[in-house]
Structure 1
Amino acid sequence: MTETIFPEANSPEAVFPETTASEPLSCFDPAVNGGAMLPVAESIERILSQLSWPQQNEEVALAEAVNRVLAQDQISTINVPQQTNSAMDGYAICAAALKENEQQSFKVVGQVFAGGSYPGTVSPGEAVEIMTGAPVPAGTDSIIMREMTELQGDQMTFSGPVAVGQHVRQRGEDISAGSAALSAGCLIRPQEQGLLASLGMQKVKVYRQLTVAVFSTGDEVVPQGQPLPENCIYDTNRFTLMGLLQRMGCKVIDLGIIEDNQQVMESTLSEAAGQADMVISSGGVSMGQADYIKLALQAVGEINFWRIAMRPGRPLAFGQLGSDTGTVAGKETGTDTSKTPFFGLPGNPVAVMVTFLQFVQPALRKMMGQRDWQPVRMTAVAEHTLKSRLNRIDYSRGIYRINDQGQLVVSSTGAQGSGILTSMVQANCLIEIGEPLAQVEAGQSVLIQPFGD
């Protein structure tokens, strides 16, 4: 792999850096498996260098476009607002003709509602009653709020200064005709959906929706709906992953629980790669776990097992299913390569969520076509001592809030074991303690990643 200098973890370039083409990953990376641990930032860089931006797009109805990514710039054909209009209920006047600090009296000569217009030109000393959204009449330049006026007969009076342009929305001040209202690579949230609707859009071109296949591994993992045998656990991670993927707008293929068998694993991986844009498993990626998973992955792709300098979630497998010379059987996903990215996440429930957020999410954002994405990071004040370990990033589960002094503060949820799923349920953020720190003292600043995406 070509060496590159990776930016600080909280910089915009930390998520989608410009990378050069790298050598294919393999199951055995001596630099990693020999004992050294990869930094989180370098791991993200390696992952993103293996992925391509999307090529295929489709046209969808605006009502169905939420959580999709725009495939082309959206150029406005109209001004928004279309006409200069009132931002308040009140009276339209010519403020430029006013004398400073004098009580002013105006003759009310008409009325205009939203959707209508005033037919003439208003002279100095005249006013037109106007409703919010109505076009500002010719000859006027400002709006006096109704609450600031008194009306006796057809005479309107007010006192106090008035600025030219007060409470007036100028034509095209939001979006001007011919300008790009939204750029390609923009995720369509409800607010973008509303903006597109304001342009009169009925359909938009978006990148193709991703399909992700998910399965769990381990003979100790059992499905819900049956008695729990001794020394076994109910399958948790598959449901967590499906929920995370659905929130990102992905289609999900649920492959269930795969037994500890190399042939079954190879068959499952090959089938999943033919149906999906990405395949994600949980469990079976620790260095001491069954070799059949590593051998199965090696047989159907180019997979690297890494140890990441982080907690929770140190073991991670990533690579590509398929080959350079062949094609993935049955693949009709529209990707520009025969290979399908694969993530093997740890088995512990909290570690699955943390590694998904730190590694899988940025990979999916790139594959979705979402440009300039980065995880939200904010600085908060620690309310108590937060423990960590040198030379790794610690992702503690935290609760952030605004205290009585107006400060953004954060505290941990308590016990931080990677199997304590309630620590994620109680949390509203991850507390990110960097490699150089063994702990953060109460009153010191610390980075947090609020849950939200």
Structure 2
Amino acid sequence: MNFDTVLMVDWSGGNDRGPRPTKDAIWLCVARDGRAEEPRYMRNRQVAEDWIAAFLTGETTAGRKTIVGFDLPFGYPRGFAQALTGQDNAFAVWQWFEDRIEDSPQSNNRFDIAGEINRKFGGAGPFWANALQRDIEGLPRTKAGYENPFPDRRRAETRAQGAFTCWQMAGAGAVGSQVFMVLPVLSRLRRRFGASVWPFEPLTSDVAFIEIWPSLTLGAAPAHMIKDAWQVREVARTVSALTPEQLAEVLDVDAPEEGWIFGLGHEALLKEAAKLPPRLSNSCFALPPGVHWTPVAEALEALKTRLAPVTGISETPIAQAAGLVTARDCIAQRSNPPLPNTAVDGYGFAGGRAEGLHRMPLAETRAAAGDAPATLPAGQAMRVLTGAALPQGVDTVVLQEDVTVSDGQVAFQGPIKQGANTRKAGEDVVAGDVAVPSGVRIKAADVALLAATGVQTVETYAPLRVAVVSTGAELVDAGQPARAGQIYDANRPMLIELVRVWGHIPVDIGIVPDDREALAQQLSRAAREADVIITSGGASAGDEDHVSALLNDAGSMSLWRIAVKPGRPLALGMWDGVPVFGLPGNPVAAMVCALIFARPSLARLAGEAWPEPQGFDVPAAFSKNKKPGRSEFLRARIRQGRAEVFASEGSGRISGLSWAEGLVELPQEAASIKPGDPVRYMPFGSFGL
């Protein structure tokens, strides 16, 4: 059993909540392959129903199967459906409510319908709690005198610790109102899209409805997120991370009348699924048909578009967050500075002063950093120290160097502008603003900003684990005995160091000889131990190019023949669900391709924003006639303001990598470069080195 898309919905029984996102409202979240989009706020039920209908139309038109979860019961305790409708059928209850509920953004008749049902059963239950100012016959305001002819809870609620009863219509935990206001919507959507509803019927349609309860597996929400938004995101992400086999296991439930909570009895499975990283599809590296030589810019754009983070997300204290990547925007919990304050040591007063000599009586109190804001009487000045919150009645500060103090007075020469030498509240960051955006590798300065704005924890991606494999019978590790014809492996130590410098965790898989079975075993080991695999060598289409052959056999191979020098072949694919980057075997080509293609790709897989290397136009200190057809990257360095290039362009000349401090990029077009002509120079620092 498999679904392409997951949509999670947190419903509300209340009226329109306005345009600003808020708690206790309707929130939606879409997820695919374990990757959730940003939650969406819906101000009322009408807007939400229209959005869900439009979304499902788009998904079904695109041929995608969608599972939709709603955070409320789909059925009532046993016996209610038969007593209300004459049928032991939850859908008859849905239709009964659809026929009677009247709903608008500002009002609805749910309490009147609850009273109508209660009168049908004697007027003392099963529903209770009337939040309206007017009395409703049959609907008690409290449980005093309340009688319920049906079980207080469904079998699912008796097993789900903390779950609320569906009979309560108002107050904290008023699930009853939510059920009243969603069943008509479910009934309409089911009819419109031919949806299958679990667990009442087999999920054979392209649209399926399930009942969720986020509190089944989720704890407290992060301080910077609205709980409802966080919950739908986490549930959507978790459900979309389940394998088809796991989903089938969770859905194997027999509850034909009351319904059931998705995941009840499988809490451990869901909690483990929540820890899993999102998945990439086997086709994410596929090239359009007919493409033979891919320009560098097109290759980079394709990678940028198709790649996404693949590691899990966790809550991290800011003291431990440096070096990790933010998974969500970090929202300032407090303005910085929180109050208007003084930028200097001096004397504060109200209003600026014109030109000339000014004298003011000096108050006996003073304001220092950390003091609670005082109040300054009108017409007086007060001693204030740097960082002190401005006392009420102070909006201007004159430097102490510009003041004389005698006989209880301060004197200074004007003019001084109102607001001088002060800082406004929130001048740096305002509470509610994004302090550090998502996709940022946290630096010491970011930690300082987060601390200053009251952020205690941040959501971060787990560090990316990168397996590094060298292939080839000719390779041995440095210092080991080498036969004639063998060479020391330079690529693996170089790539491991690059991975480390870029902030990821290298996993050394070692050297694999030119043996397809041995390589398959090592790739499988790498897939178990890492989130992404980088190989060097064997990435072309020759007899001993086993990396590309294995990826091809796995059905995920894309041999990107990139119009680049040095380089050309870049084998991309998936092995056991893990992305593989097959780099060329020549060391210079391997490093250039690592800098140009692997570095931004790894950053994206780690959750970072796609990094663009910075380049600068500088005069050339060399001559070169370049043929058209390929972008070229020359090992280079700057001397006396000009770009020098290494004497040889050979891909085996490793000394040129050590000599260089950056790369000169030459475009695809033909070029005749003479000394003094501008060329684009990219220092290694722009590649994170």
TM-score of the superposition, structure 2-length normalised?
0.53
Whose Rg is larger? 2
CA distance in 2, matches of 1:234, 1:63: 42
Q: Rate the CA distance shift 1:95–1:304 in 2: closer, same or farther, 3 A.
A: same
Match of 2:471 in 1: 217
Deviation (angstroms), 1:214? 0.8
Of residues 514, 538, 541 in structure 2, which corresponds to 1:284? Answer: 538
- SS at the partner of 1:137? coil
Higher helix share: 2
| Letter in structure 2 aligned against 1:87 | A
**Does residue 512 of structure 2 align to residue 258 of structure 1?**
yes
Match of 1:421 in 2: 654
CA distance in 2, matches of 1:55, 1:231: 41
Match of 1:304 in 2: 558
Match of 1:348 in 2: 586
> Relative contact order, CA 8 A, sep 6+: which one is greater?
1
| Letter in structure 1 aligned against 2:580 | F
Of residues 498, 503, 521 in structure 2, which corresponds to 1:249? Answer: 503
What runs of 5+ residues in structure 2 fail to find an aligned partner? Answer: 1-61, 63-279
Deviation (angstroms), 1:84? 0.7
Confirm or deny: 8 A CA contact 2:620 2:679 kept in the other structure.
no
Of residues 74, 80, 98 in structure 1, which corresponds to 2:336? Answer: 80
Match of 1:193 in 2: 447
Deviations 1:380-410 (A, max 9, x none): 2224245344222122233358x7xxxxx44
Deviation (angstroms), 1:435? 1.4
CA distance in 2, matches of 1:93, 1:380: 53
What pairs with 1:11-90 in structure 2 (closer than 5 Å)? 24=283, 31=290, 36-54=292-310, 56-90=312-346
| Letter in structure 2 aligned against 1:412 | E
Confirm or deny: 8 A CA contact 2:622 2:644 kept in the other structure.
no
Q: Rate the CA distance shift 1:287–1:150 in 2: closer, same or farther, 3 A.
A: farther
- SS at the partner of 1:420? coil
Deviation (angstroms), 1:445? 3.5
Deviation (angstroms), 1:363? 1.9
CA distance in 2, matches of 1:115, 1:266: 64
**Does residue 676 of structure 2 align to residue 438 of structure 1?**
no
- SS at the partner of 1:99? strand
Deviation (angstroms), 1:304? 2.3
What pairs with 1:368-387 in structure 2 (closer than 5 Å)? 368-371=606-609, 373-385=610-622, 387=624
CA distance in 1, matches of 2:613, 2:361: 54
Root mean square deviation of aligned Cα? 3.2
Q: Rate the CA distance shift 1:386–1:365 in 2: closer, same or farther, 3 A.
A: farther
Q: Rate the CA distance shift 1:54–1:220 in 2: closer, same or farther, 3 A.
A: closer
CA distance in 1, matches of 2:326, 2:591: 27
Count matched residues: 405
Confirm or deny: 8 A CA contact 1:280 1:345 kept in the other structure.
yes
Deviations 1:303-331 (A, max 9, x none): 2223211122222111122xxxxxx3xxx
**Does residue 680 of structure 2 align to residue 447 of structure 1?**
yes
Q: Rate the CA distance shift 1:141–1:22 in 2: closer, same or farther, 3 A.
A: same
**Does residue 377 of structure 2 align to residue 144 of structure 1?**
no
Deviation (angstroms), 1:204? 1.5
Of residues 356, 360, 369 in structure 2, which corresponds to 1:114? Answer: 369
Confirm or deny: 8 A CA contact 1:25 1:303 kept in the other structure.
no
Deviation (angstroms), 1:30? 8.4
- SS at the partner of 1:115? coil
CA distance in 2, matches of 1:172, 1:292: 59
Deviation (angstroms), 1:213? 1.1
| Worse overlay, 259-268 or 58-67 | 58-67
| Worse overlay, 355-364 or 179-188 | 179-188
Q: Report the identity percentage.
A: 34
Match of 1:232 in 2: 486
| Letter in structure 1 aligned against 2:598 | V
- SS at the partner of 1:266? helix
CA distance in 2, matches of 1:67, 1:200: 20
Deviations 1:406-451 (A, max 9, x none): xxx4413433443333433444432222112424444444333332
| Worse overlay, 238-247 or 107-116 | 107-116
Deviations 1:196-218 (A, max 9, x none): 12233332211233222111112
Match of 1:184 in 2: 438
| Letter in structure 1 aligned against 2:297 | A
| Letter in structure 2 aligned against 1:81 | P
Confirm or deny: 8 A CA contact 2:321 2:447 kept in the other structure.
yes
| Letter in structure 2 aligned against 1:414 | F
What runs of 5+ residues in structure 1 fail to find an aligned partner? Answer: 1-19, 322-327, 329-338, 404-408
Confirm or deny: 8 A CA contact 2:336 2:425 kept in the other structure.
yes
CA distance in 2, matches of 1:421, 1:158: 69
| Letter in structure 1 aligned against 2:470 | S
CA distance in 1, matches of 2:368, 2:659: 50
Q: Rate the CA distance shift 1:302–1:90 in 2: closer, same or farther, 3 A.
A: same
Deviation (angstroms), 1:222? 1.4
| Letter in structure 2 aligned against 1:429 | G
Deviation (angstroms), 1:113? 1.8
Confirm or deny: 8 A CA contact 1:398 1:431 kept in the other structure.
yes
Q: Rate the CA distance shift 1:22–1:76 in 2: closer, same or farther, 3 A.
A: closer
